Amino acid sequence: MRRRNLFTMPSGLIIFRFFVALGVDLNQKTKYEVTPLNFALIVQNMPVVEELLKHGADLKARRGDKNLLHYFVSQNRLDIAKFVHAKDKSLIGERGEKGRTALHLAAMHSDAKTCSWLIEQGVDPLALI
């Protein structure tokens, strides 16, 4: 069974708990550097997301040069970025490739709403300079 099926099936939470009981590595990455937590967030399976976090999934796992907050900001997924930020406020201050912040990424993707939210959260707009 592929991870995609596990996280999108109605019985995904039951199957997930079975894998946890077997001791599956919750932070293992695919060849595309996607963790189970990253994928569960992408498909918005929030019961599985909460279970992953409860069992030690790493919110600080990076996908390439981006942390999870950077990734969802760059995908214009403000809803998920807000969720990730609520779980780990330190991610907002991290820098990725070429020293870019979440605000850089939001500005690059022309997302004014996300830029405004990031500034409300305390990101320094002068850091773009």
SS3 call for 66: strand
Stretch 11-18: mean pLDDT: 78
pLDDT for 21? 86
State the helix-helix crossing angle for 112-120 and 78-87, rounded to 10 degrees: 20
Instruction: Report the C-alpha gap between 114 and 86 in whole angstroms.
Output: 15
pTM, to two decimals: 0.85
List, for residues 45-84, the tens digit of each pLDDT value. 898 899 999 999 999 999 989 999 999 999 999 999 999 9
